[in-house]
Amino acid sequence: MNDQPILFIIPGACSLGSQITLEWLKIPYQVGITSPEIRQSEQFRKVNPAGKVGALKDGKVVVAENLAILLYLADNYASHAVCPPYGSNDRVLIYQWLSYLSSTLHPAFQHFNYPNRFVEDDYVDKFRELAEARLLVILQYIESNLSSNGFFLPTGPTLVDAQAYGLLRWCKKHNRGENLVDLTAYPKIRNFFAIMEQNPAVQNALLIEQQQAQALKGSLFAGYFEFK
Ligand SMILES: N[C@@H](CCC(=O)N[C@@H](CS)C(=O)NCC(=O)O)C(=O)O
Å from CA of 148 to ligand 1 middle: 31
Q: Residue ranges per domain, the chain?
A: 6-79+201-224, 89-197
- Condensed to tens digits (0 to 9), the pLDDT of residues 193-223 reads 999 999 999 999 999 999 999 999 999 999 9
To 5 degrees, how large is the angle CA 77–CA 163–CA 215? 80
Measured in Å, residue 15 CA sits from the centre of ligand 1 at: 8
| Residue 148: closest CA among 191, 185, 111, 118 | 191
Mean pLDDT of 19-29: 96
Q: What is the pLDDT of residue 176?
A: 63
Could you count the other beta carbons within 10 Å of the beta carbon of residue 40? 11
The stretch 37-44 carries a mean pLDDT of 96
Task: Give the residue, by CA position, lying nearest to ligand 1 atom 12.
Answer: 52
Cβ of residue 39 lying under 6 Å from some atom of ligand 1: yes
6-79+201-224 classified as CATH 3.30.300.130 = no
pLDDT tens for 107-162 read 999 999 999 999 999 999 999 999 999 999 999 999 999 999 999 999 999 999 99
Residue at 82: amino acid letter: V
Q: Are 44 and 8 in contact (CB under 8 A)?
A: yes
Average pLDDT, the chain: 94
The CA distance from 20 to 84, in Å, is 17
Question: For residues 167 and 13, is the Cβ–Cβ distance under 8 A?
Answer: no
Question: Is the CB of 53 inside a 6 Å radius of any atom of ligand 1?
Answer: yes
Three-state DSSP class for residue 100: helix
Instruction: Report whether residue 34 contacts ligand 1, using a CB cutoff of 6 Å.
Output: no
**Class assignment of domain 89-197?**
mainly alpha
Q: pLDDT digit string (tens) for 175-197? A: 666 668 989 999 999 999 999 99
